[in-house]
Amino acid sequence: MKKLLIILSSLLLISCSNSNTGNPNTSNMSERDMQRERLVRLAIERQEKKEAAKKEELRQKALAEEAAMKQKEAELKEKAAIKEAEMRQKALEKEAAMKEKAEEAKRQEILRAQEAKEKAAANAAAKEQALKDQRLSREEIFREIIEINNELDGKNVSKERLAELQKRLAELEKLNK
């Protein structure tokens, strides 16, 4: 394009110089020379407009590419932000689930401890009741032994009753040990 401009401007200069050399009055150019000069100028202007249009087109293309790159960068940043937010959300959900599991385990441990405590209390109560029962039985055994001894001390006991009382006394003494 620049070569074409150079050629056209050269032609213009040549035509101007040719017309000036023949005439001593340079201000009076022939109609033909003026037309040629106008055509050359028009061609130069057209060429300049084409070049300007091409430059503008290239500039617009570069701007469009830059805008596309910026948009891509923005999309990538947005995707990265979304992914980071999702990862943070998953981490929070995982942490919440772990806390919930820990709390559930703690509740279960508390329930087991409470059940063990209640069981131990029930066992202690049962043992205490057994000891009371045993004491009562021993007290009853001692009373009965005393009654038998008192009855044996009495002289109005028949032989059958005496054998019965002695047998019962032997059983009670076995239980007392």
Q: Closest Cα partner for 140 from 93, 175, 95?
A: 175
Euclidean distance between CA atoms 15 and 22, whole angstroms: 11
Q: Closest Cα partner for 148 from 171, 118, 128, 125?
A: 171
Work out the mean pLDDT of the chain and round it to a whole number. 83
Q: Are 111 and 132 in contact (CB under 8 A)?
A: no
Euclidean distance between CA atoms 119 and 154, whole angstroms: 51
Instruction: Domain ranges for the chain, please list them.
Output: 2-20+30-176
Task: Transcribe 94-125 into DSSP letters.
Answer: HHHHHHHHHHHHHHHHHHHHHHHHHHHHHHHH
Which pLDDT score is estimated for 152? Answer: 73
Digit-coded pLDDT (tens) for 86-118? 999 999 999 999 999 999 999 999 999 999 999
pTM higher than 0.85 for the full model? no
Low-confidence ranges of the chain (pLDDT < 70): 1-2, 4-5, 8, 12-13, 15-29, 132-136, 138, 154-155, 157, 176-177
